[in-house]
A and B are shown apart, each in its own frame.
Chain A
C-alpha cells in the first residue's frame, strides 16, 4: 500500500522535473541558458522515475535495467551537451546581451580586463599564502 504511494509520488515528481526543463527551453532567452535548463533537469527526472520503477517491481531485472539507464543518462548527457555547446560557440550563436564572462571569447577572455579588483585580491592572497 505505502509502496504504491511512493511509486506514484516519484513518478509524478520526475514528470514535473521534465516539465520544468521544457518550460526552461521555451522561456529562457539564450541558447546557452536553454541548454543549461534542458540537460540537467531531465536527468534528475529520469533518475526519480527509475527509482519508482525499481520500487514497483523490486526484482533483479528491473533493478539492473534501471541502473543501466541511469548510468547511460548520467554519463552521456554532460558529454553530448558539452560537445554541442562548444560547437555552437565556434559557430557564433549569439549570446544574451547581459552575459558577463565568456572564457572562450577573445575580447573577454582575460578575466583580468573585466574584474581587475578581483584579480588583485586573488594575487594578494597568493602572496600572503
Chain B
C-alpha cells in the first residue's frame, strides 16, 4: 500500500481532495444541465467554493503556505463575478 507512506495529514488531504473532486463533478453536472441561467450561476459559485477547498487541501498536502494567497484572491473575485452577473440579468429583465 503506497498510501501508508504518507503521514496522517497527507492521507486526510488526499481523502478531502477525492471528496471535493466528486463534488466538483456533481456541480459540473448541474452547470451543464441546469434549466435556467441562475442555476448555472449558483453552480459556478459552488465550484469556486470547491476550488478554494481544493487549494486548502493542497496547502496541507505540500506544507507550503504560499498557495493560501490563491484562495484569498478566488474568494474576492467570485463575489465580483456574482454581483456583475446579477446586475447584468437585472438590466436585461428591466429592458424587457
Contact = CB atoms under 8 A, between A and B. Distances in A.
Q: Do A and B bind each other?
A: yes
A4 B60 CA distance: 11
Interface residues of B, number: 52
B2 interface: no
Nearest to A93: B36
Interface class of chain A by DSSP: helix
Contacts of B56: 11, 14, 46, 49-50, 52-53
Contact of A39 (B15, B45, B59, B69): B45
Contact of B8 (A8, A35, A43, A81): A8
B79 A25 contact: no
A23 interface: yes
B19 A38 contact: no
Contacts of B78: 76, 80
A84 B68 CA distance: 28
A65 to B, nearest CB: 5
Nearest to B37: A91
A57 to B, nearest CB: 6
Contacts of B15: 12, 15
Interface string B21-46: 01110110110000011110111011
Contacts of B23: 15, 18-19, 21-23
Interface in A1-49: 4-5, 7-9, 11-12, 14-16, 18-19, 21-23, 25-26, 31, 34-35, 38-39, 42-43, 45-46, 49
